[in-house]
Structure 1
């Protein structure tokens, strides 16, 4: 056996000049004659998985005769399956249909694994792997492996409307590995933002009333797990190596990142056309605009004008709204941002939002002393303090958020040694402080009357229980603000206000705002927003910031969609005079 391991190494021993080499359990070469250990080590090569150093998730441990059966390799996709499982369970607990996980998300996941040739194919490609130290009998890890790799994939649930099909494959072995992160991305490997993109595609498939902004807000509020998800992996699954950085989350992904990843995933998986977005679906602009009118504390009467913009811009068609990845240039409509853009265009038609017309109309309403008539001045005075307070609270919460993982990811041997030393130091410090506190507590007990010690302990324990935070699930609301007269509301609701002063009646009805302003319509790219923002009317910029805060996106994203709606709307002839 030693002859096979040494592979004919014929150098003479420097101590006794003998040529009789063996290999220790640690992989070091030693002379069998004089037991001299040299610096040469055993070159371990894994035949079935030729991985570069940068593509491994853990280093390959030196082989021992009695430990060959105690290690198992886990694929990268199996770790991401743990993550998707937790995210799917969280969505179901928030009210998503019970069949979301088994009949929608898992078929999409299996199709992704098949198309990217990570599983369910006769010619699998190599993906990064990492070792798992198993128990002596291997029962625990074997059962977990079987549960994740087989039982969850065993059910061949089919999507009748898409005709998905899968090819079962018993093993996933390696043939060639991507050498750089760019090659990995080109190969379609999963990332943390792509887990959210896949969940969003699944939500869109079942036409759930959860927009992408809703999904990302649930993530930031902790309702959907995303941070430190590697802590949920099985205890015997030890991540190690350069590629474990794929699980490290330093910030939450932006709206545009997840949106683009969703389009990319749909193209990679080669998905068919999604179920049609009709008016009975809450992603349709007609019902979705009502939701954001209420969220922004705008009157319901404004919805009639939003409908005119929807018809004029021709954005209600099923072909336009339904996502079809099979098209030459697939376009996934940003339903939530489009809905608020339609509202903003309607506001510009009625009030112009040029820092002059809206305030002139507000003064006119004040002179007539009409309480139930909507005015921009009253709307601004109610919403602005609430928006400012909510923005400051959001900044404070983000500043307090801890981005450091509970269990740090070990990316190198040096980091591993440093983490162990730091953990040992923290443990000793905690042990010392705890010991001092216990000693002081004992002294305090002896100072009390022995008969009252039990009552004192009971009182202190009750105080601790009362002050402990509740461990229930994080609540989530679909609305950023609550408008109304009830307790805990942010301010009075303007939803039932009228729009009396928007139309002048002098024999013929016409809009009080006779002109419509807009920037250059060819500047649809949102990157130009910062350049032109100082020249925009301040009221218009405030409206952009209000809706961008409600959606959790950048104002440039909203401005880009407003320009897109204006391009479609102003091409029609049913619009007011354009300035």
Structure 2
């Protein structure tokens, strides 16, 4: 069959000099001796066999005008605008309100371009002039121009403006200003790929959506929100080349703390006003979030009453504490999801102590039918631990199977272009062959339109569930004494609560060996659910315990001994 398909082609292989050609499943010629894949395809044979049998194999006609490869001129900010549009479309398709994209996201992006004077101002500056502009105190606020009606993220911020001086394409990048953009990226508050996620999170927080920062990073990890290999989604006219790879190429997902810090910095750059109030009807409030994580971790519903008491005693439910206000001198953006998990851990320590002794002697071990409905930490641990390990192994397998390489390779230089394409063809050919040998189906990308569940565990008696549900079990951690309810656990332990200076990082790695194992396991469970480190959850636990320490208690009146009775004696006359 291969002889028929390769009939008329008798050029020797450039690697082993053999004349033994075959045709792959992708209609490409390869040498059967050394498996060298060449540029020639079967369609080319059908077209060229009528003319000559001595055509060169690796000949690729180059365009007469080299500028044809970069026909569309574009700026770096336009590339980021397209990235933000793709991310906003993906979030809207997952159920986020349309106002998030049409109003909030677009207005944030316009304010950013105005405050950095990249667009929508009377005198936009070049990328090279950003540093001088931002460091100059004589310059005033940028004067904005009126926006056109119907403008959206699909528009171009550089329409109607000429490229600034020094922004000519010199074949080192596909964009006009990549080299200048890289010079001023750190000092001029320019956009980066992690900042696109930070801007999405700020917009989600403004519309008070139920998507936390941990949920957003999980959506990125599952490829439901475009971030990795973003150049696969870019239009063909927007060609990424050379130094563009240093701006748009990402090899990993940013950490929770990185995106959180970028969100605070970006809010200062955009000069946003105070955000809408995070009240109890908002799903980012600690009470609704703790309900979600109690269901996720298979803890009883009765624990919610004690969670409310912890929130009230720590003064964490106040609107002023939860609402983000970038106008303040030191704005603080609350980590809502980590804070909710930390509240549950503090409540568990309050009720069961979690010192590797008290929680294992809690009631509910007897075999009577009545005591089977009493929540027991030991039984809960035996149900959670196998499900936790299965979920962790499943996540590791999915990460290994995921295709991290992009379909369109990044071309860093014109010199290496042919070599990069040749390597990619060889890789694709080997993957195709291995799939035929193993009879496996290639990994499909997750569709952004499919339903997304924020829960990773499913508890109940249904088939496929992770284990029996303990939500209806009652707590037995109090006793009555003199008509008052008192906790069975009378002691609460905590580590040193002295606050470290801002430049000092948390010392969880140093204190972890001395902490109780049950407490460390609980940190590990919630850090897995949120996709953060154990140290971040432990740090938030310490912050809540510091709130208890700062709480003003009413002064206790000192008991004074009764006065001794004195005899009244008449005054001497």
Which range, TM-score by smaller chain?
A: 0.7 to 0.9
Partners of 1:125 and 1:175 within 8 A in 2: no
Question: So what's the TM-score if we normalise by structure 1?
Answer: 0.71
Structure 1 residue 324 and structure 2 residue 364: aligned?
no
Q: For residue 471 of structure 1, report the CA deviation from its aligned partner.
A: 7.9
**Structure 1 counterpart of 2:265:** 264
Q: For residue 121 of structure 1, report the CA deviation from its aligned partner.
A: 1.2
**Structure 1 counterpart of 2:150:** 155
**Structure 2 counterpart of 1:371:** 372
Cα-to-partner distance string for 1:301-323 (whole Å, 9 max, x where unaligned):
11111111111111111111111
Q: For residue 486 of structure 1, report the CA deviation from its aligned partner.
A: 2.2
1:23-422 alignment runs, 5 A limit: 71-127=71-127, 154-155=149-150, 170-171=160-161, 173-174=163-164, 181=182, 183-362=184-363, 370-422=371-423
Q: For residue 419 of structure 1, report the CA deviation from its aligned partner.
A: 1.1
**Structure 1 counterpart of 2:10:** none
Q: For residue 173 of structure 1, report the CA deviation from its aligned partner.
A: 3.3
**Cα distance, 1:471–1:311 mapped onto 2, change above 3 Å:** closer
**Cα distance, 1:381–1:574 mapped onto 2, change above 3 Å:** farther
Cα-to-partner distance string for 1:216-249 (whole Å, 9 max, x where unaligned):
1111112212121111111132211223222112
Partners of 1:300 and 1:495 within 8 A in 2: yes
Aligned partners of 2:341 and 2:443: how far apart in 1?
Answer: 41
Give the structure with the higher percent helix: 1
Aligned partners of 1:182 and 1:519: how far apart in 2?
Answer: 45
User: Mean alpha-carbon deviation: is it higher for 277-286 or for 235-244?
Assistant: 235-244
Cα-to-partner distance string for 1:360-384 (whole Å, 9 max, x where unaligned):
1146666896011111111101111
Aligned partners of 1:418 and 1:410: how far apart in 2?
Answer: 10
Cα-to-partner distance string for 1:269-318 (whole Å, 9 max, x where unaligned):
11110011111101011111111111111111111111111111111111
Which of 433, 440, 455 in structure 2 is aligned with 1:479? 455
Partners of 1:205 and 1:274 within 8 A in 2: yes
Structure 1 residue 496 and structure 2 residue 475: aligned?
no
Aligned partners of 2:408 and 2:88: how far apart in 1?
Answer: 23
Question: So what's the TM-score if we normalise by structure 2?
Answer: 0.72
Structure 1 residue 549 and structure 2 residue 520: aligned?
no
Aligned partners of 2:82 and 2:425: how far apart in 1?
Answer: 30
The CA RMSD measured in Å over matched residues stands at 3.4
Aligned partners of 2:335 and 2:445: how far apart in 1?
Answer: 37
SS at match of 2:73: strand
1:15-26 alignment runs, 5 A limit: none
**Cα distance, 1:387–1:273 mapped onto 2, change above 3 Å:** same
Q: For residue 253 of structure 1, report the CA deviation from its aligned partner.
A: 1.1
Could you tell me which runs of 5 or more consecutive residues in structure 2 were left unpaired when the two chains were aligned.
1-61, 129-146, 167-176, 555-573
Which of 515, 536, 549 in structure 1 is aligned with 2:491? 515
Structure 1 residue 567 and structure 2 residue 546: aligned?
yes
User: Mean alpha-carbon deviation: is it higher for 287-296 or for 355-364?
Assistant: 355-364
Q: For residue 108 of structure 1, report the CA deviation from its aligned partner.
A: 0.7
Could you tell me which runs of 5 or more consecutive residues in structure 1 were left unpaired when the two chains were aligned.
1-60, 129-151, 158-166, 438-462
Q: For residue 423 of structure 1, report the CA deviation from its aligned partner.
A: 4.5
Partners of 1:118 and 1:172 within 8 A in 2: no
Aligned partners of 1:393 and 1:416: how far apart in 2?
Answer: 38
User: Mean alpha-carbon deviation: is it higher for 399-408 or for 548-557?
Assistant: 399-408
Aligned partners of 2:82 and 2:389: how far apart in 1?
Answer: 39
SS at match of 1:413: coil
SS at match of 1:209: coil
Which of 530, 537, 545 in structure 2 is aligned with 1:558? 537
SS at match of 1:482: coil
Q: For residue 559 of structure 1, report the CA deviation from its aligned partner.
A: 0.4
Aligned partners of 1:424 and 1:552: how far apart in 2?
Answer: 36
**Cα distance, 1:221–1:122 mapped onto 2, change above 3 Å:** same
Partners of 2:339 and 2:540 within 8 A in 1: yes
SS at match of 2:101: helix
Aligned partners of 2:383 and 2:431: how far apart in 1?
Answer: 50
Tell me the matched-pair count. Answer: 452
